[in-house]
């Protein structure tokens, strides 16, 4: 009997089997949520993690969580996918082999100057003269590891817990506990230490939950790369690229690994993420590079993280994963700690200021009691009570939890955040640069008009192209890298080129026959300066050129024109007529391309001349549904919206008009070619008034964004294509369309809109602002409530130490207010008018003087009723449990009412979606507990108030809220 192959094998072994059905089984399933059990991978953290990352990169999967202890994967996915479909996908990924997630850098990697070696020598060194075979690639992956960058390991739970004690407020509470022990207040000391420990536990669990969420949100994607294996091009996940693989580089692709160029054609690569270069750099396989050349000058190399913005190339992989240049940088970063986000830094500074203020208030209280002749023990206990009341114990964990909650809510709504700290920046966005194609439009290009010199042909979606458009369609199809789908292969190529192929098919042309009859012999690709593409073809014994591109540049290359079935010289009158035709099509909102040919001409190093003008093609890309409403929403939110498009000025103007940009009758449109000769000062003046930039290149987008940032603006950029990559990276917040966007755009962006819905973009902006407002609101609440307790203690100090609230009472108050209401405020849903207000200025001090003055006013409004209650209670009952119980109830009621006052305005229909109200309700339960349970009441040293006293105090605290609700209802009627 043949032994069954084991699936729990070492990393160096093959880890797949074609009989995986029993080993990948559905353990539990709900719509959109499937838990799989993979018993052979139980305890194999490395292999299960590798599989989880590959599953997370698949389309339709939102999140994956692995449990090595049980060998389970919890997969959140598109509800339209069944549990068995998810299981089948996991089996297929497992069958392709599992290897160690990350390999260390080889010891000799630093000594090999691949950039200075001839390409043939590099291929020989990797034993890869023509690329790898599938078996060779798998063997290298098992030996070296997956092509993944090392992910930072999470800190140990013990270290996270210990870090919770490293703050000035906690040190002050520890000192107060020591003082309680010294003065005989053992119960107060135990409560103080208990609260410190409880707060540390809550903070540690919150930080760990937040860190896990951040790691899941920022999980590395695994886009496909094109490799040459077994002599054929094929797509494999980036993680499965091995050293020695030949990779094909094409416009729009992300470079999957460090590689030495073998071939290159007009190749430009954006390597700003690695080298800091502002613009894409030219690469050449034949360039001479010195061994000591710095990274940015190695023109023969491409590096992982780069983006191909123009041209094409073929390269052999020299380093993957941790051995790549960007992997080395990641390794250096492992030993360094990134700076804290601005909000965290502000909260740290606030904690120090609170500690200093607390010491000052304690000194004032101690002086007051000493002047009244109080004994030192009573003075010390009173100082402890004030320290307890002044420190908001829940403050340290508040920022991280608030941002994590907001990021989680955004992901449920279809907007995925790479780093939760970007939410701080999103709240300050005041300029939004909108890419046209794929963002404002549907990226469903369709040839709508063909315009020759003498005739115009209008085409419907299903129309047969007229005979007069046939010649234009033929050469547009020849000068084309796209591939229309058939029964076996999907469509591939840009939306523009696919639309031109569909035009040729509608004209009755057989595309396969056309390309076979006129085979391509050379190509000159479009670049930032050369806004056209040229292909050379063999036409029997003669040569032929096909050209398509920007009308003004193609027209300059032409000396002849095809008109009336004959070719003649192109006159100045013809040129003027063609320019008018171009303007007319652009004003209709069409993207316009020119088509020309060169009969008997070959492809050289210089631009072709003596071409024959054939005509213009106008392409229509319909606006996305709701695009105009979204733009209006963003403008109402105080954002300045700009359009950055590669189309010419007339097309861009019509688009802006359709989107409602010219409601005020004025619309400034600037051709980006004019920007290149501007000084920095002139450019900054121009961007202050311009709303639309036409004919922009990737470098133009970069220049515009940097000029806006130099003016002090916080800039967001939307995009979906490779040409948007550098701008998405340079913007303060890059926003990519996830469904139709290029892999490179999704990988670079800070926020990815999964469904391409512009409404999701507006909701993501609302969530960003809400996270900022919620955090500020929760901090304001904590500071105001604790300050109200300090104010009450100082007022009670005038009556002597016996009149003061006890530390136990204040601990219970802080437990009520610092947990549930503050958490509810941090989780509050967006206010109804969140997008009807301007953004908060980035320069505004989060906790400046005006904010602190307002917090002081809130504190006095809460403290005064408690002080009055204390005075009345003392007059009626003297200093003791009755008065302390009344004062405790009054202060707590007004603190909880203050939480309700701070909640954002929401529609009445959201009754069951109100975390603030639920948090306050839970706090009221905690408020009632001491009065209901005698042991707790005795520990706090309070007595229960009478029913009428309770109703009066609670009712008085809620009276302003009830009045405001009644006023709102009367206005709404």
Phi, then psi, of 559 in degrees rounded to 5: -120, -10
d(CA 743, CA 558): 37
Alpha helices of 827-933 — where are they, by DSSP H?
849-877, 881-902, 915-932
**CA dist 538 → 489, 505, 523, 611, 904 (Å):** 26, 22, 12, 17, 70
Residue 725, token pair as written in the block: 């990559």
Q: How far is CA 343 from the centre of its chain?
A: 18
Nearest Cα to 811, choosing from 397, 395, 386? 386
Residue 554, token pair as written in the block: 């193609």
**3-class secondary-structure state, position 642:** strand
**CA dist 695 → 281, 336, 620, 681, 930 (Å):** 21, 43, 17, 21, 71
Alpha helices of 711-806 — where are they, by DSSP H?
725-730, 743-748, 758-796
Between helix 947-972 and helix 881-902 the angle, nearest 10°, is 10
**Do the Cβ atoms of 299 and 271 come closer than 8 Å?**
no
**Do the Cβ atoms of 696 and 644 come closer than 8 Å?**
yes
**Do the Cβ atoms of 846 and 776 come closer than 8 Å?**
yes
DSSP-derived letter for residue 279 is S
d(CA 529, CA 535): 17
d(CA 781, CA 825): 9
CA quadruple 37, 40, 41, 44: dihedral sign = positive
Angle at the Cα of 552 from the Cα atoms of 551 and 557, rounded to 5 degrees: 95
Which class for 880: exposed (0-12), middle (13-18), buried (19 or more C-beta within 10 A)?
middle
Q: Is 583 a catalytic residue?
A: no
Phi, then psi, of 652 in degrees rounded to 5: -65, -40
Q: Which of 222, 245, 258, 435 is catalytic?
A: 435
**Do the Cβ atoms of 204 and 212 come closer than 8 Å?**
no
**3-class secondary-structure state, position 464:** coil
**3-class secondary-structure state, position 563:** strand
The residues annotated as belonging to the active site are 435
């Amino acid at each position: 009997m043949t032994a069954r192959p084991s699936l729990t094998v070492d990393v160096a072994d093959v880890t797949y089997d074609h009989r995986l059905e029993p080993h990948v089984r559905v353990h539990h399933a709900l719509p959109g949520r499937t838990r799989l059990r993979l018993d052979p991978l139980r305890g194999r953290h490395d292999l299960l993690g590798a599989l989880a990352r590959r599953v997370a990169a698949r389309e339709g999967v939102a999140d994956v969580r692995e449990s090595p202890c049980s060998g389970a994967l919890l997969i959140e996915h598109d509800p339209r996918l069944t549990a068995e479909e998810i299981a089948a996908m996991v089996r297929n990924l497992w069958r392709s082999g599992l290897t160690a997630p990350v390999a260390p850098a080889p010891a000799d990697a630093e000594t090999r100057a691949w950039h200075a070696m001839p390409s043939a020598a590099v291929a020989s060194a990797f034993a890869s003269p023509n690329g790898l075979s599938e078996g060779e690639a798998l063997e290298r992956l098992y030996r070296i590891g997956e092509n993944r960058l090392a992910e930072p390991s999470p800190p140990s739970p013990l270290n996270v817990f210990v870090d919770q004690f490293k703050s000035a407020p906690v040190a002050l509470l520890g000192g107060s506990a020591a003082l309680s022990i010294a003065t005989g207040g053992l119960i107060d000391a135990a409560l103080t230490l208990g609260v410190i420990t409880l707060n540390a536990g809550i903070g540690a669990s919150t930080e760990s939950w937040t860190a896990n969420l951040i790691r899941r949100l920022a999980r590395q994607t695994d886009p496909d790369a094109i490799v040459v294996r077994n002599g054929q091009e094929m797509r494999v996940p980036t993680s499965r690229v091995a050293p020695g693989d030949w990779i094909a580089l094409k416009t729009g692709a992300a470079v999957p690994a460090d590689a030495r160029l073998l071939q290159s054609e007009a190749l430009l690569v954006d390597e700003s993420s690695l080298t800091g270069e502002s613009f894409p750099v030219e690469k050449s396989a034949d360039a001479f590079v010195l061994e000591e050349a710095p990274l940015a000058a190695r023109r023969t190399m491409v590096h992982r993280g780069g983006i191909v913005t123009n041209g094409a190339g073929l390269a052999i992989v020299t380093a993957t994963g941790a051995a790549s240049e960007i992997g080395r940088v990641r390794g250096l970063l492992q030993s360094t700690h990134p700076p804290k986000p601005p909000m965290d830094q502000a909260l740290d500074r606030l904690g120090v200021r609170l500690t200093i203020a607390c010491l000052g208030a304690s000194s004032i209280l101690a002086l007051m009691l000493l002047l009244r002749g109080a004994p030192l023990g009573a003075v010390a206990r009173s100082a402890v009570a004030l320290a307890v009341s002044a420190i908001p114990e829940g403050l340290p964990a508040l920022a991280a939890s608030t941002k994590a909650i907001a990021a989680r809510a955004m992901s449920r709504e279809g907007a995925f955040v790479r780093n939760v700290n970007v939410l701080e920046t999103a709240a300050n966005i005041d300029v939004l640069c909108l890419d046209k194609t794929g963002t404002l439009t549907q990226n469903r290009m369709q040839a709508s008009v063909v315009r020759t010199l003498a005739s115009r042909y209008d085409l419907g979606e299903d129309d047969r192209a007229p005979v007069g458009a046939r010649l234009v369609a033929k050469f547009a199809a020849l000068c084309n890298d796209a591939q229309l789908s058939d029964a076996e292969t999907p469509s591939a190529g840009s939306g523009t080129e696919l639309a031109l192929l569909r035009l040729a098919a509608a004209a009755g042309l057989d595309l396969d026959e056309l390309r076979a009859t006129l085979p391509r012999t050379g190509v000159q690709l479009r670049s930032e300066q050369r806004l056209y593409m040229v292909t050379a073809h063999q036409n029997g014994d003669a040569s032929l050129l096909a050209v398509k591109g920007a009308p003004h540049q193609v027209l300059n290359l032409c000396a002849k024109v095809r008109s009336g079935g004959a070719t003649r010289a192109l006159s100045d009158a013809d040129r003027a007529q063609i320019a008018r035709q171009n303007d007319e099509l652009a004003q209709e909102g069409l993207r316009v391309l020119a088509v020309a040919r060169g009969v008997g001409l070959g492809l050289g190093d210089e631009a072709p001349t003596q071409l024959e003008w054939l005509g213009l093609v106008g392409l229509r890309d319909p606006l996305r549904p709701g695009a105009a409403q979204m733009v209006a929403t963003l403008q109402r939110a105080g954002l300045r919206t700009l359009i950055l498009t590669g189309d010419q000025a007339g097309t861009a103007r019509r688009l802006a008009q359709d989107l409602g940009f010219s409601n005020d009758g004025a619309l400034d449109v600037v051709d980006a070619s004019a920007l290149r000769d501007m000084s920095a000062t002139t450019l900054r003046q121009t961007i202050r008034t311009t709303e639309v930039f036409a004919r922009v290149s990737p470098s133009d987008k970069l220049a515009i964004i940097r000029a806006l940032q130099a003016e002090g603006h916080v800039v967001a950029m939307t995009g979906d294509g490779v040409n948007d990559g550098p701008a998405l990276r340079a913007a303060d917040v890059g926003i990519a369309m996830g469904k139709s966007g290029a892999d490179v755009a999704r990988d670079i962006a800070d926020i990815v809109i999964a469904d391409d819905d512009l409404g999701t973009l507006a909701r993501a902006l609302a969530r960003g602002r809400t996270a900022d407002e919620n955090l500020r609101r929760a901090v304001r609440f904590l500071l105001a409530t604790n300050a109200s307790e300090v104010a009450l203690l100082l007022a009670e100090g005038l009556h002597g130490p016996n009149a003061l609230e006890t530390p136990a009472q204040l601990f219970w108050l802080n437990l009520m207010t610092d947990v549930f209401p503050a958490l509810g405020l941090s989780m509050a849903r967006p206010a109804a008018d969140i997008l009807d207000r301007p953004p908060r200025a980035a320069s505004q001090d989060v906790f400046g003087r005006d904010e602190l003055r307002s917090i002081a006013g809130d504190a006095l409004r809460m403290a005064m009723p408690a002080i009055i209650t204390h005075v009345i209670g003392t007059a009626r009952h003297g200093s003791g449990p009755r008065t302390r119980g009344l004062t405790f109830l009054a202060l707590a009621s007004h603190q909880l009412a203050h939480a309700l006052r701070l909640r954002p305005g929401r529609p009445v229909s959201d009754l069951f979606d109100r975390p603030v109200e639920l948090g306050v309700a839970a706090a009221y339960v905690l408020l009632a507990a001491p009065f209901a349970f005698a042991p707790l009441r005795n520990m706090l040293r309070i007595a229960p108030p009478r029913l009428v006293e309770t109703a009066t105090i609670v009712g008085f605290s809620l009276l302003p809220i009830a009045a405001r609700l009644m006023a709102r209802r009367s206005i709404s009627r």
